[in-house]
Structure 1
Amino acid sequence: MRKRSHRSRTVLAIAAATVLGLAGCDASGGDAPAPKGAAAKARPSPKPTPAWDRSPQSLVAVGDSITRGFDACAVLSDCPEVSWATGSDAQVNSLAVRLLGTSGAAERSWNYAVTGARMADLPAQMAQAASREPDLVTVMVGANDACRSSVSAMTSVSSFRTGFEEAMDTLRESLPKTQVYVSSVPDLKRLWSQGRTNALGKQVWKLGICPSMLGDPDVLNSAATLRRAKVENRVEAYNKVLEEVCAKDRRCRFDGGAVFDYRFGTAQLSHWDWFHPSRNGQARLAEIAYRTVTAKKPVV
């Protein structure tokens, strides 16, 4: 009887120690297996942060005369209130207004575009943009690189690439997560073909608007046709550069050539120079930008 009693006490002691040991491991975060499903409920896997935010809360625009609303309200004048990117005009319904609302656009969007700017000017504009620490930067530049005094004066493709890469590097030095929307350069030859039907527009063109494309607008001989073709080819090369450089940055979206492909008609062109976008044209640019920025996937 004594042996059995001693053996029973030993078994009970071992069992108690085992229970206490398991309880101690569980309490101190040991490796005892948890009930099925418990771990998933207690520690849900975090969702990865998307690389592209479709609802940015602040915006800076950089670029050239198109983004300044040049010739949309008065002849040879900027009109930033109708800018496709940051304007307040209700008819345009700019990208900033669409994303931020009217009051938000007034408080959290800025326009650093400059009429006449070329790609070489973009790095300095990007530095200004970075100082605002925006969620989104919009870029529309390149038309003035092709719109030179002559075909030979156009910005080379290699220089255009260097300028855009430098501009992106300038932004990324201080703002690695800011998103960038890049518009393609408009089809300048299309704008010539539409505007050349208006006598007033052709008189304004003589003041120096895009001579490489718009000079001698009614001349259709082989030399003039070749000149316009060279400008057109250079614009297409610029757009290829914009697409390629943007594709290397996971927080950059190119419009897929949508602005270049848009068939501007007389309603979308300034009634002063018949070359820059009118209010209607600015609204169409805003639509393209908003569609690209808010798309679930980049345009391909």
Structure 2
Amino acid sequence: MIKKITPVLATAVLLVPTAAHARTTPAVMAALGDSISAGFNACGWYVACTSRSWSAGDSSSVNSHYLRLLAMGSAIKGHNLNFAVPGATSADLAGQARKAVEAGAGYVTVLIGAQDACVGTEKEMTPVGAFRRNVDAAFDVLRPAGARVYVASIPDVKRLWQVGKDNGWARVFWGIGHICQSMLANPKSTAKKDEARRDRVRERVMDYNEQLRQACESYGPACRYDGGAVFSYPFTLKQVSAWDYFHPNADGQKALAKITFDAKFFADVEP
């Protein structure tokens, strides 16, 4: 569970690099995951915008993990790699992990699973057991390399339905783009079958998050799970891209960076 610190203390930690921080902050970092970490639609029409990634982006408008590490005195400058791929599922994570290891990443962020749940129908969702095996396979690649891993929980896709279902443009984009139809199909419907379907998809996301927590715990002290911070975050439609009403925009990416970064992680874990 992330240890919460007050905004004042957070500023002090990030802006005053101590000797402990200088020793333990990584020289290379890598973002693994799907379109969220790739910054998809955060700056343009259906394009990845890695500069605005909550993890490895270099845009001051987001203040990513990368920029926060720089502020802590890390020698990471220019070594912010992004191997996240739009549309990636947990099955792609091990391949991304191998790229991170080959690049010498000492710090890796993982945000994966939205695309395992956001498919055309419920039946197409990745089984929980398969999801866990995929995550374990990726961690088995990272562990021998000694990489420090931060695991973010999957966002609550039902909240996206809740904040967007009454917006006409959101419904149009969800329908035309066939976006996350397991959750977002028939968004105005109050039929019991549709309400039950949405609840089941949300439960699957919660199951994935529990597997992420357990996998991180098994990884050891060099892994930090966000304690469900991303899943629980009450995001608004203003933090979602108007290009598709699904992916975080720059404000959404900024919020992700803020609620996930844990400065203490780099002071209390030896490399």
Query: TM tier, shorter chain?
Result: 0.7 to 0.9
Alignment of 1:139-154 (within 5 A): 139-154=110-125
Match of 1:136 among 107, 110, 125: 107
1:179 to 129, 142, 148: 148
> Do residues 73 (structure 1) and 39 (structure 2) align?
no
Q: What's the counterpart of residue 283 of structure 1?
A: 254
Specify the alignment match of 2:165 in structure 1. 196
* Residue 225 (structure 2) aligned to one of 246, 250, 254: 254
1:241 partnered with 2:211: yes
8 Å CA contact 2:109, 2:149 repeated in 1: yes
Give the direction of change, closer, same or farther, for the CA distance of 1:105–1:204 in structure 2 (3 Å limit).
Answer: farther
Pair 168,271 (structure 1): closer, same or farther in 2 beyond 3 Å: same
Q: Quote the sequence identity (%).
A: 40
Number of the residue aligned with 2:8: none
Partner of 1:165: 136
CA contact 2:166–2:188 (8 Å) conserved in 1: no
Higher relative contact order (CA 8 A, sep 6+): 2
What is the CA distance between 1:297 and its match in structure 2? 6.7
User: Residues 134 and 105 of structure 1: is their aligned pair in 2 closer, same or farther, counting only changes over 3 Å?
Assistant: same
Give the corresponding residue for 1:96. 66
TM-score normalised by the chain length of structure 2: 0.85
Distance in 1, matches of 2:136 and 2:164, equals: 33
**Contact persistence 1:57–1:100 (CA under 8 A):** no
The structure number with the bigger radius of gyration is: 1
Cα 1:270–1:104, aligned 2, differ >3 Å: closer, same or farther?
Answer: farther
Q: 2:181 aligns with which of 199, 211, 216?
A: 211
Do 1:195 and 1:275's aligned partners in 2 also have CA atoms closer than 8 Å? Answer: no
Ranges in structure 2 where 5+ consecutive residues have no aligned partner: 1-19
Change (3 A) 1:190 1:87: same
Separation of aligned partners in 1, 2:229 and 2:81: 24
Cα deviation, residue 292, structure 1 = 6.4
Distance 1:156 1:95, change over 3 A: same
Residue type matched to 2:147 in 1? Answer: T
Name the CA distance, whole Å, in 2 between partners of 1:120 and 1:292: 30
Instruction: Provide the rounded CA distance (Å) in 2 between the counterparts of 1:60 and 1:202.
Output: 34
Are residues 121 and 198 of structure 1, via their aligned partners in 2, closer, same or farther at CA, if it must alter by over 3 Å? same
Q: Distance between the aligned counterparts of 1:105 and 1:297, measured in 2?
A: 19
The alignment of Structure 1 onto Structure 2 pairs a total of residues equal to 245
CA distance in 2, matches of 1:70, 1:290: 20
Q: 1:127 to 1:97 in 2, by over 3 A?
A: same
Amino acid in structure 2 at the alignment position of 1:245 = A
Length-normalised TM-score, structure 1: 0.77
RMSD: 2.1
